[in-house]
Structure 1
Amino acid sequence: MSSTLPPAAAPGALRRYDLDWIRVGAFFLLILYHVGMLYVSWDFHVKSPHIVEAVQPFMMITSPWRLTLLFVVSGAATRFMVDGFEARGGHAGRRLAGSRTLRLLPALLFGMFVIVPPQSYFEVFQAAQGLGVADPAHSPWLQDFWIKYATASGGWCDADGCLTTPTWNHLWFVAYLLPYGLLVAALVGLPGKPLGVLGRWTERACAGWGLLIWPILYLGVLRFTLAPIFEVTHAFWGDWYNHALSFGAYLFGFLIARSEVLKANFVRLRRPAAILALVSWAAWATYAWIYRADDAAPPEALRNAMRVVYAVDQWAWIAAIMGYGARYLNRGGPVLRYLSVGVFPFYIVHQTVIIVAAWYLMPLNLPLPVEAGLVITATFAACFAAYEIARRSGWLGLLLGVRPRSGPAGGQAANRPPLPA
């Protein structure tokens, strides 16, 4: 069966170790970011009494691009899956749809009804405390909590709005990956190979400086058009700016994954991309710091300029990471094989562990570095424990996104492509 993408992306290795390493690193950064959310002034499910606003500019190093990068890498991994299906014969689109559904849907449902509810429980608990409820745990607020959570009958509302359940919270990434994968699966089988045409066009457009210019232009247009109208909600329906951003990144990753031309171009442009990334981060972080108050009203001209800066920030960091990764992260090994599968269960469980650990540590009034260090340690320990349980659980491991082990010794097959979360 002929490939769905351009000849430049055809023969080649079945694995990009640099993309695996980038994916692992991005998930680890995400865990640290969510720990940081306990200690900054931004909304989160629970908050530590140790609020340090000065941490926020450093949180902004990753906040504009961390999930967008994961969508790029996940799209690239999906491309490798399609190549593998085509090499083995059969209908690649149908096999991709089945694979994505099997990998993502059980984990999403298990996460929504088992992993995520403790986050909502402690969010309601802390909100009730804020409203003066003396003993929230034994109040009508939390009585029969899971039943109310699962049946959307909690009625948990305060001045800031209502908590809608069941919810996927941080698992919105999984909830979005599934339909994106199914959409690509449908496109793979279309007559005329539209993905092949789009892939060839993308490779030509992103040759040279186009690799920086066109993605930044696309992101800038989104900031001026959809972003002011559609707030990011992670609710799927109506989240049109986020879909344009995230699916655009996913599709871009799919189209460029096997292009040696663009891989080399990422390497060539890594230094200018890194300079752009640092400069745009400094500008955006300064702007966000100066106008951080809820009632701040920056001049419209400055707001428009910052929309451009934000778009530069979003893509320059991704381009720099992809370039340095392609240059220096080209080796696999047992550690990468272990972590490239493990980061998905890490992602599923990490935020609940962060919130539960913080909840029970906060009453101890520990110094902030000690409290944060214990939260991080507990989170990584629980993530590794969850992965070890999942990888030994056969088909039940799919509840945490881990497929049954394969290969001669029961380990992960050596030539398996990178696995999208």
Structure 2
Amino acid sequence: MSVPPPLVSPSAMKGRRYDLDWIRVGAFMLLILYHVGMFYVPWDYHVNSPRPVEALEPIMLLTNPWRLTLLFLVSGCATRFLADGFEARGQSGWALAGSRILRLLPPLLFGMFVIVPPQSYYEIVEAAKGLGMADPAHSLVLKDFWLRYVTSTGHWCDADGCLTTPTWNHLWFIAYLLPYSLLLAAMIALPTVRRALQAAGDRVFRGWGLVVWPILYLILIRWFLAPRFEITHALTDDWYNHALSFGAFLFGYLIARSEAARQTLMRMRWPALIIALCSWAAWATYAWVYRGDVNPSEPLRQAMRIVYALDQAGFIAAILGFGARWLNRDAPALRYLSAGVFPFYIVHQTVTVVAAYNLAALHLPLGVEAGLLILITALGCLLAYEVARRIGWLGLLLGVKPQKAERTARSPA
């Protein structure tokens, strides 16, 4: 009886996966645009436009179910390449742990205490104005703001609850990616565990199993965990989000080197896209009809959990498949953006929130305001990256390695 080849084939072990680099860049860019859109939809955000555009909601739902899940998956792929690089140099999984701490912990701490506070500041200003305070910026409410922010003594509360500080806000992705990386590093530091993990992936994610099992997993956690554990981004009590995000991270680690998985995803890209678009249409319609205080029936709610899982799996499989087919090529823009998107991600939401709040006060035409907001966010991201890449090891505070170290690290993955 013939034995099917393992997921990690020899041909997949050579060369860099430029398609995954492009997908990572694209996913971060979509996230930046998404957070600009958050200012204009009538959803809870740090600041909201006084002129909300409700019709944007279906467009926002186009990426909402899968955007962060895709980022965790691609991060798992990147972690696989890093781990294999350390192993090739005779280093253990603990070298991977040290590398991840150095790359992720400084920007997380710097972000929480320097980058994120302006978001909380303007959130408090807007909430205070909503409570009728004419000039909260010059009131006792925001006196000694940063000191009260870092010492968690602000006591900033309204009818919806109290603001907990210091906070990581949008940097929750880094706050989750770090322990996921350390957990994986501890697992693969033991050769028997590493081999058993890959062997399990070889058995489960083969052929149609590459799609069927992830879909079933997404449906199960949507059915049984999502109703019980609301997404909080608080790390300690976020069990549905952990099941989703760590599952995607581990999945990416297991298939990153797989030529068989890449070929399967390329073959399935069009069916996956059709499933994704149909699921998005159904989910967006459901969310539109049942927005506000309108409650759906329980059978419909259960059915929509299946639709939501199909939306996630369909879009992610389609993106990976089309990426593998068309994007596996290098370019100068990719080399620039691959190093730049992480600092873009770190600073973008603060730039957006500060610019959005102050642009709204100018009462510009809505289209002009939105265009300026996107432009200011993009320029702020580029400026942060250009500064970070010129300040040596201090660039790690914004997720940028010194240029010499970055060139050394770009050996073929």
- Opposite residue 225 of structure 1, the aligned amino acid is F
Number of aligned positions between the proteins: 408
Name the residue aligned to 1:140: 140
Name the residue aligned to 2:167: 167
Give the secondary-structure state (helix, strand or coil) at the position aligned to 2:244.
Answer: helix
Q: Superposition pairs for residues 19-418 of structure 1, below 5 Å? A: 19-91=20-92, 93-192=93-192, 194-293=193-292, 295-406=293-404, 411=407, 414-415=410-411, 417=413
Give the secondary-structure state (helix, strand or coil) at the position aligned to 1:112.
Answer: helix
Distance 2:63 2:281 in 1: 12
- Opposite residue 96 of structure 1, the aligned amino acid is L
CA RMSD in angstroms, aligned pairs only: 1.5
- Opposite residue 205 of structure 1, the aligned amino acid is V
**1:105–1:178 Cα contact (<8 Å) kept:** yes
Give the secondary-structure state (helix, strand or coil) at the position aligned to 1:84.
Answer: helix
Distance 2:11 2:132 in 1: 63
TM-score, normalisation: structure 1: 0.94
**1:31–1:350 Cα contact (<8 Å) kept:** yes
Question: Where in structure 2 are there 5+ consecutive unaligned residues?
Answer: 1-5
Report the Cα offset of residue 10 of structure 1.
7.8
Q: Percent identity?
A: 65
Report the Cα offset of residue 7 of structure 1.
4.9
Distance 1:248 1:310 in 2: 16
Give the secondary-structure state (helix, strand or coil) at the position aligned to 1:49.
Answer: coil
TM-score, normalisation: structure 2: 0.96
Distance 1:312 1:142 in 2: 45
- Opposite residue 63 of structure 2, the aligned amino acid is T
- Opposite residue 266 of structure 2, the aligned amino acid is V
- Opposite residue 62 of structure 2, the aligned amino acid is I
- Opposite residue 59 of structure 1, the aligned amino acid is M
Give the secondary-structure state (helix, strand or coil) at the position aligned to 1:110.
Answer: helix
**2:18–2:328 Cα contact (<8 Å) kept:** yes
Report the Cα offset of residue 197 of structure 1.
2.6
Report the Cα offset of residue 190 of structure 1.
1.8
Report the Cα offset of residue 400 of structure 1.
0.1
Relative distance call for 1:363 and 1:186 in structure 2 (3 A) is same
Question: Where in structure 1 are there 5+ consecutive unaligned residues?
Answer: none
Name the residue aligned to 2:3: none
Instruction: Provide Cα deviations, 1:81-111, integer angstroms capped at 9, x if missing partner.
Output: 01100111122x1110100000000000000
Relative distance call for 1:9 and 1:125 in structure 2 (3 A) is farther
Report the Cα offset of residue 411 of structure 1.
4.8
Give the secondary-structure state (helix, strand or coil) at the position aligned to 2:41.
Answer: coil
Instruction: Provide Cα deviations, 1:19-78, integer angstroms capped at 9, x if missing partner.
Output: 000000000000000000001011000001120111100100000000000000000000
